[in-house]
């Protein structure tokens, strides 16, 4: 009789990501595939991938590459893990920058400045860790328990999604009447 032992797929990884937009997609795909294999809830994975994208974008926009390389050269470090308590932690480390990571209050028309606010809304916790070499790591606890059936379903302060009507239902709308008086 053979004894079969179930092993959980490791859900930790780290990778060097080019300092710039080129490696962000690869990091997202790798994270998604690895967390799926590890049995993490799809809603948690969606949040984690968005958070990773925001962190990498911020590192490339506001931080220097690791190793004092010129902007556009070198790498930043992306890492994620499910710790023994079941917390999904995502970290991005860059070479530091002129400002400290902090949520902004952008204008309604601003093209950016919302990344850390999105992270604050999605994550259970986040913070910044400085290294003696000037490196800066932004860490995020995406969810305290990825095995919780409601993991990733918390959306405090967000409006629920409202499905769009089916195309068949839109046939009753007659937009032509709205434009008749414009001649």
Flag whether the pTM goes above 0.75: no
Does residue 7 surpass a pLDDT of 90?
Answer: no
Measure Cα distances from 90 to 4, 51, 176 in Å: 32, 8, 51
Structural domain contains residue 170? no
What domain range includes position 36? 12-105+112-153
Q: What is the CATH number of the domain that holds 55?
A: 3.30.565.10
The arithmetic mean of pLDDT across residues 49-74, rounded, is: 84
At 146, is the pLDDT very low, low, confident or very high (cuts 50, 70, 90)? confident
* Mean pLDDT across 26-46: 91
- Asked if residue 138 belongs to a domain, the reply is yes
Does residue 3 carry a pLDDT above 50?
A: no
Q: Is residue 3 part of a domain?
A: no
Please write the tens of the pLDDT for every residue from 87-109: 999 999 999 988 888 777 777 77
The total domain count for the chain is 1
């Amino acid at each position: 009789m053979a004894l079969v032992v179930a092993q959980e797929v490791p859900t930790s990884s780290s990778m060097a990501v080019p300092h710039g937009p080129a490696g962000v997609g690869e990091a997202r795909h790798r994270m998604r595939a690895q967390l799926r294999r590890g049995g993490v809830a799809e809603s948690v994975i969606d949040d984690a991938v968005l958070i990773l994208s925001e962190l990498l974008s911020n590192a490339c926009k506001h931080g220097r590459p690791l190793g004092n390389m010129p902007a556009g050269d070198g790498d930043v470090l992306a890492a994620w893990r499910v710790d023994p308590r079941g917390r999904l932690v995502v970290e991005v480390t860059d070479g530091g920058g002129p400002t400290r990571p902090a949520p902004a209050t952008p204008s309604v028309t601003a093209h950016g400045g919302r990344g850390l606010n999105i992270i604050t809304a999605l994550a259970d916790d986040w913070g910044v860790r400085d290294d003696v070499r000037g490196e800066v790591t932004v860490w995020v606890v995406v969810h305290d328990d990825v095995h919780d059936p409601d993991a990733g379903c918390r959306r405090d302060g967000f409006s629920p999604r409202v499905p769009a009507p089916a195309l068949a239902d839109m046939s009753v709308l007659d937009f032509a009447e709205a434009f008749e008086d414009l001649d």
